[in-house]
Structure 1
Amino acid sequence: MRYMSTRGQVRDLSFKDAVMMGLANDGGLLLPKQIPAIDTTQLAAYQTMSYPQIAFDIISRFTGDDFDQNDLRELIERSYATFDHPDVTPVTKQDGVYILELFHGPTLAFKDVALQFLGNLFEYLLEERNEKMNILGATSGDTGSAAIYGVRGKDRINIFIMHPDGKVSPIQKLQMTTVTDENVFNLAIRGTFDDGQRIVKETFNDLDFKANYSLGAVNSINWARVLAQIVYYFYAYSRVQPETGCEKIDFSVPTGNFGDIFAGYMAKRMGLPVDKLILATNENNILSRFVLNGDYSVGDVVETLSPSMDIQIASNFERYLYYLLGEDSESLCGLMESFATSKSLQFDGQLQAKVREDFDSLTVDKAATVDQIRDFHQRTGYVLDPHTAVGVRAGERLSDPDVPVVCLATAHPAKFGDAVQQAIGQDPERPASLDGIEQRDSRCELIDAETEKVKAYLAQRAR
């Protein structure tokens, strides 16, 4: 299995080199040169396999002969041993809706599924190569803590995570800043998540700086993040299909950065029988506007009850755009160059029709989010976090009544207690991992959202 960049100038990388490169050196995003196929026989076999076993079968198809199979199996099993549920990502049925619970990892968010794996993968590769790494990442709330918990205390890694000051939930902030291991550095930037994402890309595009400080990426620009997330689509299908008898199922995905739903898109290309991928957004609905109207125009970031989706520029959009354009890197480069200056892309009717073959979409505002949490709780007793509520609202509105819908529960409701309290008049039950978090020591530095300042900070503290 070999990897190449969406922009065409980086080609023929091994899986290991693709993971270590993160953002491609030509500014593009890395993808496998071929997409492995899962046939119906293997799909049926997943029904009797555990989550780590399914993960190994899928991930090993993307590593090829680049990885010792026993080492890969052990790495995967170790990564998911940290989850507090034996099924890792269990599926529960609530009032006709299937909820895929992705919040049973150390930081109670779906990002753990990929970042526990990626942290152990980085450790393995750095040991193998006798190298060190400085991870630079930006978070809208959940990636930061999941990345920190994935690499905290690891000898060969320092991690620098930026979050937008005052624009993540109190619990999200504390989950990052109360990790005081010597290799962890939290930066609150005076700006938005999009500013942090811009700083990451500009820093990685400084190839001398990237090489001198051995930069590594944990944002979903890193292919291994997307790869690990592909697994739970197959897992969910393997549990829902035998119960329903339906050949195809829908997935509803709350997303702001296009990474989680892009993993579903890749699963569908691999052969997963998906009827509809429902892209659910909050008021920061650039992705909904793209799906429904062919309009990918950046607006101002709106603060919502689902802050992890308060994003305008989706970092994984380029991967999908590459496939939408028929894997034409030259055309893609032209569009990305235009977008860099205009902050707007418009797609013609032919491409819009193609997009709508892949996705449907709905925007769910604050009032509808609160209503969804309240209504679902009244009907089922089940508490949704505000991101999951966005996905469930879209799933209930857009799925075919005759097709089962799986809604991705991306975070535990305790991470967003204020929104839950507003909706149902009571605080969500807290998992043990959050007990006393407000009283723990914390460490964080406030910094301007300027690339050169962040680079200088990293350079002074790098491995």
Structure 2
Amino acid sequence: MKYKSTRGGHREYTFEEALFAGYAPDRGLFVPASLPVITAEQHLTQWSKLSFPQLAYSVLRMFVHPSEINDEDLKSICDKSYPRDEFDDESFIPVKKLGSAFVAELFHGPTFCFKDIGMRGVINLLAHFATVRGRAVTILVATTGDTGPAAVHAVNDVACPLLSIIVHYPRGQISDFQRKQLTTVDSKYVKVVSFEGGGDDMDWPIKETLLGNCDDIAIGGRTFCGINSYNIGRPLLQIVHFIWIYLRMAERLGIEPGDKYCMIDMVIPTGAMGNLTGGYMAKLMGVPIGRLCAGVNING
């Protein structure tokens, strides 16, 4: 599997290159050069019997070539990304009936935010490559509340000597609970700073920092990496929970996995649409997802 920029060009990149760069050198975003196909017979029927970490491995294997991460290491990454004792529900994402609809609860992770589910995988992938390459990596993050705590908790948990994080949040514009999640972590791998301004005001300086070093992003022997929703690792990991939810819905409704005559519509609260992108990619790959409805508020 190779990756390319949304702005075109002929060059293709490895998964590792796309993951660490965040933005493509032409200021576009990285996407798979082609999407793998998911079928009922070869995938969904078998996947319906898997645990969440096993499903994550099966999905990631489609996007990461074995020459970059072998089977054993990828399985280990997925196991470490979804430890049973870090999630307060054994199914990771329970699906519950509410009136005529169903609700997928994505808040059972360590920071009570759906971003725990995808962020932990991204952090463990970065830690793996940093260790293999023997290079120090500093993650740069801007947060308006959810991304920061999930990333801080994951970086602290992985405790990789080569992986650290700097989180920036707008002073007075996140909840007290989220601020405490960020500022009460005592970790040598974590730095948290506040700034004056709006929630998106750090996006430009972080983007310029990353793009200014696209060809040689090592500064002082340390590589800078961004993991907000523009990083391809985020939607790839989020594909997993869309497939998981679809499979749980198929069970509840008595649908054969992959039945294209029984589409499942999904309503998703969204901001930067990274999570929605994961659902859309799953749909394009062949998962019988019907309508994807994006719910936004004034912050979106």
Alignment TM-score > 0.5, same fold: yes
Paired residues of 1:203 and 1:210 also in contact (CA < 8 A): no
Paired residues of 1:123 and 1:154 also in contact (CA < 8 A): yes
Aligned position for 1:431: none
Paired residues of 2:21 and 2:210 also in contact (CA < 8 A): no
Paired residues of 2:242 and 2:282 also in contact (CA < 8 A): yes
1:178-216 per-residue CA deviation (whole Å, 9 max, x = no partner) reads: 112122111111111211222221221222784324101
1:120-162 per-residue CA deviation (whole Å, 9 max, x = no partner) reads: 1111111100100111111111100111111124311221111
Once the two structures are superposed, the pairs formed by residues 186-335 of structure 1 within 5 Å of their partners are 186-207=192-213, 210-212=217-219, 213-245=222-254, 247-282=262-297, 284=298, 310-311=299-300
Any stretches of 5+ residues in structure 1 without a counterpart? 285-309, 312-463
1:298-353 per-residue CA deviation (whole Å, 9 max, x = no partner) reads: xxxxxxxxxxxx24xxxxxxxxxxxxxxxxxxxxxxxxxxxxxxxxxxxxxxxxxx
SS at match of 2:291: strand
SS at match of 1:99: strand
1:272-303 per-residue CA deviation (whole Å, 9 max, x = no partner) reads: 11110001011x2xxxxxxxxxxxxxxxxxxx
Distance apart, 1:10 and its partner CA: 7.1
Q: Distance in 2 between matches of 1:124 and 1:28?
A: 25
1:96-123 per-residue CA deviation (whole Å, 9 max, x = no partner) reads: 2211111111111011111111111111
Aligned position for 1:116: 120
SS at match of 2:284: helix
Q: Distance in 1 between matches of 2:187 and 2:252?
A: 45
Distance apart, 1:9 and its partner CA: 4.2
Q: Distance in 1 between matches of 2:10 and 2:151?
A: 26
Q: Distance in 2 between matches of 1:180 and 1:9?
A: 44
Quick one: which amino acid aligns to residue 211 of structure 1?
A
The percent identity for this pair of structures is 35
The CA RMSD over aligned residues, in Å, is: 1.6
Name the TM-score, length of structure 1 as normaliser. Answer: 0.59
Q: 1:192 to 1:277 in 2, by over 3 A?
A: same
Quick one: which amino acid aligns to residue 179 of structure 1?
V
The reply to whether residue 54 of structure 1 matches residue 55 of structure 2 is yes
Q: Distance in 2 between matches of 1:189 and 1:167?
A: 10
Aligned position for 1:37: 37
Name the TM-score, length of structure 2 as normaliser. Answer: 0.91
SS at match of 1:135: strand
Any stretches of 5+ residues in structure 2 without a counterpart? 256-261
Residue 80 (structure 1) aligned to one of 76, 79, 82:
82
Paired residues of 1:55 and 1:228 also in contact (CA < 8 A): yes
Aligned position for 1:95: 99
Q: Distance in 2 between matches of 1:147 and 1:197?
A: 16
- The structure with more strand, counted as a fraction of residues: 2
Q: Distance in 1 between matches of 2:186 and 2:198?
A: 24
- The structure with more helix, counted as a fraction of residues: 1
Query: Which entry has the higher C-alpha Rg, 1 or 2?
Result: 1
After superposing the two structures, state which structure 1 stretch, 272-281 or 178-187, moved more: 178-187
Q: Distance in 2 between matches of 1:183 and 1:236?
A: 33
SS at match of 1:27: coil
Paired residues of 1:7 and 1:28 also in contact (CA < 8 A): yes
1:36-73 per-residue CA deviation (whole Å, 9 max, x = no partner) reads: 11001121222222111111111100002222011101
Quick one: which amino acid aligns to residue 243 of structure 1?
R
Aligned position for 2:181: 175
Paired residues of 2:111 and 2:149 also in contact (CA < 8 A): yes
